[in-house]
A and B are shown apart, each in its own frame.
Chain A
Amino acid sequence: MTFSIPSNPLPRYLLQIADDQLVMGHRNSEWTGLGPILEEDIAFSSIAQDQVGHSLAFYEILHQTYGLDNPDQTAFNRPENGMLSSWLVEQTIGDYAFSLVRHWCYDQAVALRYESLAQIQDSNLQALAIKLRGEVKYHTFHAQTWMKSLLQGSEESRLRMLSALKEVWPLALGMFEAWPGETDLMREPGSQGHPWYPGEKNLQDLWQTRALESLASWGVEVEALGLQRMEPVLGGRQGYHSEHLAPLLEEMTAVFRLDPQAEW
């Protein structure tokens, strides 16, 4: 099981997106059958399925255009330190408040990444970003409606959501960890001539501005919660992970490892 992280900035960036989607999708699928109500169980499971599908789409391109191994090998046959997913996505599902707040933080960020990727010059990637953006529109709608509803619901739902927010926020900031090659990618001209990738710092600022605006509109006292003073949890984009990723990979790859060369 050897794997070298792509040295070119673009494939590395795509791998980060793909790994986030794979791990997030796997985590979210753990709610299947356990969701709070039937309709929500189905909706959340579908979102998880979408996310694994998005990772596959990027692994395909990484395989066909950038010489990585086929999607199954790339997804299931990699050492932990070859995974470039953020710490946010590998955390265990917690209670439903934690999973919902994470879902909201995560998919808002994915929406921003796809928005920018839709400006890339490469027509395959551009088309993919535009296609996947539609699915993420539903993910963010789903997340927002629950956030709003539970933050404005009963005292209990509000407190549980606020406590989950404080727990998720530093992990969410870690999605925007700086990575090697970032500044090179920021210089690459997009389809409109100007750079398409704004870099992690700018993505984070945009994400945070939008997120704090939404929270304020739902009656959250953002200042009092102290979100802006929190420090990001870093490491994922460099291949360093929390204790939660190894067991996840162990479970996710269990069937694959029975026969790594099998045709599925």
Chain B
Amino acid sequence: MPILSLDPRVNRLQAEEVPADQAPVLVPGDHWPSYQVFHQRRRGEKHSSVGIVHAPSLEIAMAMAKEQFARRGETSNLWVVCTADVLEMDYADEDVFRTTPAKSYRDPAGYKVNDKIEAYKAQQTTLR
């Protein structure tokens, strides 16, 4: 059977073998949206994207996220966000970033201030 979707429930429907007029109709409760999960290890640290869960609601997404992404190691907090609520750039617009790697003058490594700091430190040591 060809893989129709990465969601196994869609494949299980075997929709392509069923005549169109008998095809099962997907209602919202059958096909849950995905939620992005953000994990915070300790208070004060940033929340990092760790993956997705499928759920029928935000609350159930949280209940699922806790066991999928916070079942081991340290956790202080979790966020879940409905994937549909995330505004994503179009990959067709990736070219807006094409020239940025060349702008080395925006890279902190290019700053001259480090030389001055080193010189100042050396001077302080000599004075002492």
Q: Which of B59-67, B97-105, B106-114 contacts A (4 or more CB under 8 A)?
A: B59-67
* Bound form: Cα–Cα A154–B56 in Å: 12
Alpha-carbon distance A145/B68, docked complex (angstroms): 17
B19 within 8 A of A: no
Asked, given contacts A42-B68, A46-B71, A154-B29, whether A142 binds B63 with beta carbons under 8 Å apart, the answer is yes
Q: How far is the CA of A231 from the CA of B9 in the complex (A)?
A: 42
Q: Mark A152-166, 1 if CB is under 8 A from B, else 0.
A: 011000000000000
- Report B-chain residues with C-beta under 8 Å of the C-beta of A3: none
Pick from A39, A141, A145: contact of B54, CB under 8 Å: A39
Q: B53 near A39 (CB under 8 angstroms)?
A: yes
Q: Assess whether B29 is in contact with A43, with CB atoms less than 8 Å apart.
A: no
| A12 to B57 alpha-carbon distance, docked (Å) | 42
How many Å from the CB of A152 to the closest CB on chain B? Answer: 10
Cβ-closest chain B residue relative to A154: B29
Q: How many residues of A contact B (CB 8 A)?
A: 15
Contact indicator B68/A149 (Cβ below 8 Å): no
Whether B59 and A39, one on each chain, are in contact in the complex, defined by CB atoms closer than 8 angstroms, is: no
Output the residue of A39, A42, A148, A149 with the most chain B CB within 10 A.
A39
Main secondary structure of the interface of A (DSSP, over half): helix
- Are A149 and B54 in contact, CB atoms less than 8 angstroms apart? no
Residues of B near A96 (CB, < 8 A) are none
Expressed in whole angstroms, the minimum distance between the Cβ of A87 and any Cβ of chain B is 28
Cβ-defined partner of A39 (8 Å) among B9, B29, B57, B68: B68
Q: Convert A39-67 into 0s and 1s, putting 1 for each residue whose CB lies closer than 8 angstroms to a CB of B.
A: 11011001000000000000000000000
Chain A contacts of B56 at CB under 8 A? 149, 153
Q: Which residues of A contact B32 (CB under 8 A)?
A: 37
Task: Give A259 to B43 CA distance when docked, in angstroms.
Answer: 48
Contact B66 A43 (CB under 8 A): yes
Whether A145 contacts B60 by the Cβ 8 Å rule is yes
Q: Please give, as numbers and ranges, the residues of chain A lying within 8 Å of B64 by CB-CB distance.
A: 39-40, 43
Q: How far is the CA of A138 from the CA of B29 in the complex (A)?
A: 24
Residue contact A138 to B66, C-beta cutoff 8 Å = yes
Residue of A nearest to B52 (CB): A39
B29–A145 touching, CB < 8 Å: no
The answer to whether B67 touches A149 (Cβ under 8 A) is: no
Pair B54/A153 contact, Cβ less than 8 Å: no
A16 to B68, CA, bound (A): 31
Is B53 within 8 A of A145, CB to CB? no
- Is the pair B66, A149 in contact by a Cβ cutoff of 8 Å? no
Residue of A with least CB distance to B67: A43
A146 in contact (CB, < 8 A):
yes
Determine whether the beta carbon of A39 is less than 8 Å from that of B71. Answer: no
Residues of B within 8 A of A154 (CB): 29
* Complex-state Cα separation, A39 to B56, whole angstroms: 12
Chain B 8-61 residues near chain A, CB threshold 8 A: 9, 29, 32, 53-57, 59-60
17 A-B pairs (CB sep. < 8 Å): A37-B9, A37-B32, A39-B53, A39-B54, A39-B68, A42-B71, A43-B63, A46-B67, A46-B71, A145-B57, A145-B60, A145-B62, A149-B56, A149-B57, A149-B59, A153-B29, A153-B56
Q: Assuming A42-B67, A145-B62, A149-B59, what are 15 further A-B pairs, CB within 8 angstroms?
A: A37-B54, A39-B54, A39-B55, A39-B68, A40-B64, A43-B63, A43-B68, A46-B67, A46-B71, A145-B57, A146-B60, A146-B63, A149-B57, A153-B56, A154-B29
B→A interface (CB under 8 Å)? 9, 29, 32, 53-57, 59-60, 62-64, 66-68, 71
Q: Could you tell me which A residues sit within 8 Å of B by CB distance?
A: 37, 39-40, 42-43, 46, 138, 141-142, 145-146, 148-149, 153-154
* Interchain residue pairs A-B with the least CB separation, the first 5: A39-B64, A43-B67, A145-B59, A142-B63, A46-B67
